Amino acid sequence: MINLDVPAKFARLVDQAHQAAAEFFRPHSRKYDQAEHTYPRELDMLAALLDGLSASGGGAGAGGVRRGAAASGNQNGANLRLLLGTIEMCWGDVGLLLSMPRQGLGNAAIASVANDEQLARYQGKWAAMAITEPDAGSDSGAIRTTAVLDGDHYVLNGEKIFVTAGERADCVVVWATLDRSLGKAAIKSFVVDRGTPGFTLVRLEHKLGIRASDTAHFRLEDVRVHKDNLLGSPDIQGFAGVMQTFDNTRPLVAAMAVGVARAALEEVHRILVEAGVTIDYDRPAFSQPAAAATYLQLEADWEAAYLLSLEAAWMADNRKPNSLQASIAKAKAGRSASDITLRCVELAGTLGYSENSLLEKWARDSKILDIFEGTQQIQQLIVARRLLGKSSTELR
C-alpha cells in the first residue's frame, strides 16, 4: 500500500525546493511573465539544486531510475522525490521551472533510452524535445519528419513546433519516421545538437502563459545526424520505446498542475479569511456560505489530483507498469488545475483579475498543463484503451 506521508529522507530536499520557489520564483514571477523571451540568468544559480530533482541529474529522475535499474525491487523513492520537488517549485512558478537548465523533456528521453556512451556524451547538456508538427499534434504517431539513412548519418527533413526551451537548449531530441508507410513502428528519436547545419530556428511563440519559458519553431532541411545519435534500437520494432518517455514524465506534468493549483488555493484561502468568510471543515459544505462551499469543493478536487500523482510515482518506484496511472494522473491534475485556478480568480473578484495578485497569472499558466505531453482528450483515450483492452486501431 502507499504511505501518503512525505518520507523523512525527502523532507530536506522538499524544503530546499520550497525555499527556492518562495525566495526566487515568486519574487521574479511577474517580471519574467512580462519580459517574455528574456532568459532569467538568475536561474543558473539554482541549476545545481534542480539537478538533484531532474531527469538529467545523475540518474535521479524518472527516466534515469528505470534505465539500467535492477529487474525488481523498490527504487528508493527517486520518482516520488522528483514529483514532490516539482510540486514545490511549481508552487512558485511553472514557467521558471521549465526555464531551468537541464530540465527539458529531452533530458528525460535521454535518461530513459540512451545507451551508456550517449549518457556520458550528453551528461550535463540541456535537451529539449521536438515532437509536435503543424500536421501532427496530439497524434504523435502521425509525424511526417523523415530520417533517411545515408552511410553513417541519418538525413532529417521536416518541421517541428511548440518546442519548449528550444532556443536555450544545447540539443534537441527530434522524433522522426524511418518509413512513413510503416506508421508508428518506424518512429525513432534522434539527438540533434544546436548549430547543426540545416537545423533552423524559425521563430519563438508568444503565449498565453508560462512566458518565462521559450517555445520554439524549427525547420529541418537535410540535417545530417550521426547514427550514434539515434536513441534506442535502430530496428523497426514498435512504438513503445519512444512512448516510454511519457510514462515517466506525465506524472511530472501532473505535479506541475498540483503545485500551481495549490498556490492558487492558498492565496484565495487567505483572501476569503481576510474578507471574513469562515471555512469550516466540520460542517457540510451546503450549510456554509457559497464561497466556502466552493473552496471546499476545489480543495477536494486538488487532493484527488495530488493522490493520483503520488500513486503514479509510487508505482514507478516499485517497478510496476504505470502507463495507465500516469495518464489518469495527468488527465485529472491538468483539468483540475485549470478549473481550480479559474474558479479562484472568480472567488477573489477584482483581486483575482488584477495583476496586483498572481492569481490571474496562475490561471493562464495552468492551461498548458492540460494540453502539453498529451492533451486531456488523448489521456482519456489512453485510459479508455487500457481499461477496455482495446488497441489504438480499435478505439480511436
C-alpha cell at 158: 521536416
**112 vs 214: CA distance, rounded Å:** 24
Instruction: Assess contact for 220 and 178: CB atoms under 8 A.
Output: no
Vertex 64, ends 58 and 69: CA angle to 5°?
110
Confidence label for 163 from pLDDT (cuts 50, 70 and 90):
very high
C-alpha cell at 31: 517580471
- Second-level CATH architecture of 8-121: Orthogonal Bundle (1.10)
In tens, the pLDDT along 177-187 reads 999 888 888 99
CATH class of the domain defined by 127-231: mainly beta
In tens, the pLDDT along 269-313 reads 999 999 999 999 999 999 999 999 999 999 999 999 999 999 999
Q: SS3 of 96, please?
A: helix
Q: Where exactly are the structural domains of the chain?
A: 8-121, 127-231, 240-388
Can you tell me the mean pLDDT for 117-142? 89
Backbone angles phi, psi at 263, to 5 degrees: -60, -45
CATH superfamily, domain 240-388, is Butyryl-CoA Dehydrogenase, subunit A, domain 3 (1.20.140.10)
Can you tell me the mean pLDDT for 312-330? 92
Instruction: Tell me what pLDDT residue 375 has.
Output: 93
In tens, the pLDDT along 146-156 reads 999 999 999 99
Residue 254 has pLDDT above 50, yes or no: yes
> What's the pTM?
0.91
Least confident interval from 100-104, 200-204, 256-260, 320-324: 100-104
Backbone angles phi, psi at 134, to 5 degrees: -55, -30
Residue 73 has pLDDT above 80, yes or no: no
User: Over the chain, what is the mean pLDDT?
Assistant: 89
Residue 229 has pLDDT above 90, yes or no: yes
**8-state DSSP, 372:** S
**132 vs 114: CA distance, rounded Å:** 21
Q: SS3 of 277, please?
A: coil
Residues with catalytic annotation?
Answer: 373
**136 vs 160: CA distance, rounded Å:** 9
User: Which value, to the nearest 10 degrees, does the dihedral of the CA atoms of residues 146, 149, 155, 156 take?
Assistant: 20
Residue 139 has pLDDT above 80, yes or no: no
Confidence label for 69 from pLDDT (cuts 50, 70 and 90):
very low
